[in-house]
Amino acid sequence: MLKLKTYSCAVAAVLLMSQALLARADLPDFTKMVEAASPAVVNISTRQKVTQRAAAASGQQIPNLEGLPPEFREFFERGLPQQPRNPGGRQREAQSLGSGFIISADGYILTNNHVVTGADEIVVRLADRSELEAKLIGGDPRTDVALLKIAGKDLPTLKLGKSEDLKVGEWVLAIGSPFGFDHSATAGIVSAKGRSLPNENYVPFIQTDVAINPGNSGGPLFNLDGDVVGINSQIFTRSGGFMGLSFAIPIDVAMDVANQLKASGKVSRGWLGVVIQEVNKDLAESFGLDKPAGALVAQVMPEGPAAKGGLQAGDVILNLNGQPIIMSADLPHLVGALKAGEKAELDVVRAGERKTLQMTVGALPEDDEVLAASEASGPAVSNNRLGLVVVELTPEQKSALDLKSGVLVKNVLEGPAALMGVRVGDVITHLNNQAIDSSKSFAAVAKALPMNRSVSMRVLREGRASFITFKLTE
């Protein structure tokens, strides 16, 4: 009996070892890929004259980073406010470290814009330890892509893939210089695609769990075929180090930017001239949608492409040129990829009905338009059901805001509006999907609001419009 048990245990152990070996055999082997790709991955260092007096004059509390190594200083200095140049102040030489990769045998290099922005000198160190000064062809802050050029010929290059073919769960590899350690290789999987990050409207980021740290910025992200599918750009962190959330710029986006920078030194993007917001469950209900999806148009810029094409505030854009808009952040990615003058076909829902609109895409302006509201005047009309005191807009205010109708919030009393965050100075243009052209119409619509059902209100604040939802209860 004892022999039988011993034999059974031995068999079980062999089976477990076999399963472990098989599982290990299924893991990818990156050795050949790293060997082949590393010669085309470069280290990028920059030097910049930084005036210390400028920091003191601004009133900002700037920490002393002098004692830190260059790679750590670069990491912390990214979060500091940009300081103006001050020739009268004492200057020191700031250094930063990043990564990049060669995309052409004659010396064109891709990296992140934040690695080289503001640099007085850019030095590229190749795999053979030789150093060359690089020329900045152009940088694009909106996508965080920069194109450099070094003198050379027959340089090693990387093969570029298609980021749109990536699948969630696919293995990927990064090579870069974290904290200055050249040609460090880290691996992981694609965690998600099409991620939108705060203040990053034009990049559908690739999210991975590849270990990325300061110095990896600008380095390549590879698929298992050894093709570059992204540029490692940033991480989400609470500690200052890697936490399993890394984000890469899709190579398709990066190369479109690089080609434009190479041709003209700047990047042109499509523009519709709208302010949009997410469609949540309550907004979907208030607009008669089956489910939360699409991009809700909160504001249409006057004389912009969308206004000329018939798009209206309150429209919900469901797809653009046949591509569905699931999240509102999908729209800027798609519009930005179009060129000025191209046609755009939008499927929208307006007042519960589906419509198709045709319009010509414009060019994204260099600066965002800013509208400001003037102070209120005129007799106040109160509606205590919402807890708002509103007044008529003067002709001057309507002209300044380019509005034909709307009311100005003069006072916020206790009630639903205060809980929603409505403020004095806000302009209300729509309530329950009805245009508000006077304080009288506002009071009438507010009085007739349904109970226990999601209701939307369009509010214009400091030139930017958004829809908010609420429910009135007994």
- What does the block give as tokens for 410? 């003069």
Residues written for the chain:
474
Contact, 30 vs 173, CB < 8 A? Answer: yes
- Whether 165 is catalytic is no
Tell whether the torsion through CA atoms of 190, 43, 113 and 51 is positive or negative.
Answer: positive
Q: At residue 358, what is the residue type?
A: Q
Catalytic residue among 99, 217, 233, 286: 217
Among candidate residues 45, 96, 144, 177, the one labeled active-site is: 144
Asked about 217 being catalytic, the answer comes back as: yes
Please pick, among 45, 114, 182, 456, the residue that the annotation labels catalytic: 114
Q: Is 326 exposed, middle or buried (0-12, 13-18, 19+ CB in 10 A)?
A: middle
Residues 6 or more apart in contact with residue 334 via CB below 8 angstroms: 320, 321, 323, 325
- The burial of 169, by beta-carbon neighbours within 10 Å (0-12 exposed, 13-18 middle, 19 or more buried), is given as exposed
Alpha-carbon dihedral 94, 205, 41, 216, rounded to 10 degrees: 40
List Cβ neighbours of 289 (8 Å cut-off, separation of 6 or more). 279, 316, 349
Q: Is residue 471 classed exposed, middle or buried when 0-12, 13-18 and 19+ CB atoms within 10 A define those classes?
A: middle
315 carries an active-site annotation:
no
3-state secondary structure at position 22:
helix
Q: Of 271, 289, 269, nearest to 279 (Cα)?
A: 289
Place of tokens 């003058």: 341
394-403: which pairs have CB atoms within 8 A and are 24 or more residues apart? 397/373, 400/371, 400/372, 400/373, 400/374, 401/371, 401/373, 401/427, 401/460, 401/463, 402/302, 402/371, 403/427, 403/429, 403/460
Q: Which residues are annotated as catalytic?
A: 114, 144, 217
